Amino acid sequence: MKITERTALKTVVKFAKKEYREKGPLSGRVLRVKDLKKVSIGGPLPQRAVRESYTHHFVVLLDYGQDYRIYYFTKEGVLINGETVEKKSDKISILKQSTKLEYKL
């Protein structure tokens, strides 16, 4: 079976629902990571743009009150790793700027 971005998103959402049901966070979100624009050539409307992709493509963000639990997934929907960070961390502000909401719990 060919893994498309849509089937990978379904796998990540399924994981997020399971974590939400089992561990009971306050809220949860599945986010898609945007490509990072490095260089653009041209005037106000660039003719060419060089973009850099991150190794992770999807992020599951679970809110536990004092801190967040973040899970990183590849483009194929495979879990890379997870970490716990404080709410005031720089990673949270970077995630808010560089991601798009796909699913909310």
Please report the DSSP string for 31-83 in residue order: EEEPPEEEEEEESSSEEEEEEE--S--EEEEEE-SSEEEEEEE-TTS-EEEEE
In the chain, where are the structural domains located? 5-104
Q: Greater confidence, 61 or 2?
A: 61
pLDDT band at 2 (very low <50, low <70, confident <90, very high): confident
**Tell me, what's the pLDDT at 54?**
59
Q: What is the pLDDT of residues 5-62, one digit of tens each?
A: 888 899 999 999 999 999 989 999 999 988 765 555 666 666 665 555 556 789 999 9
- Judged by DSSP in three states, 26 sits in coil
**Tell me, what's the pLDDT at 61?**
94
Mean pLDDT of 67-72: 94
**The whole model's pTM is what?**
0.80
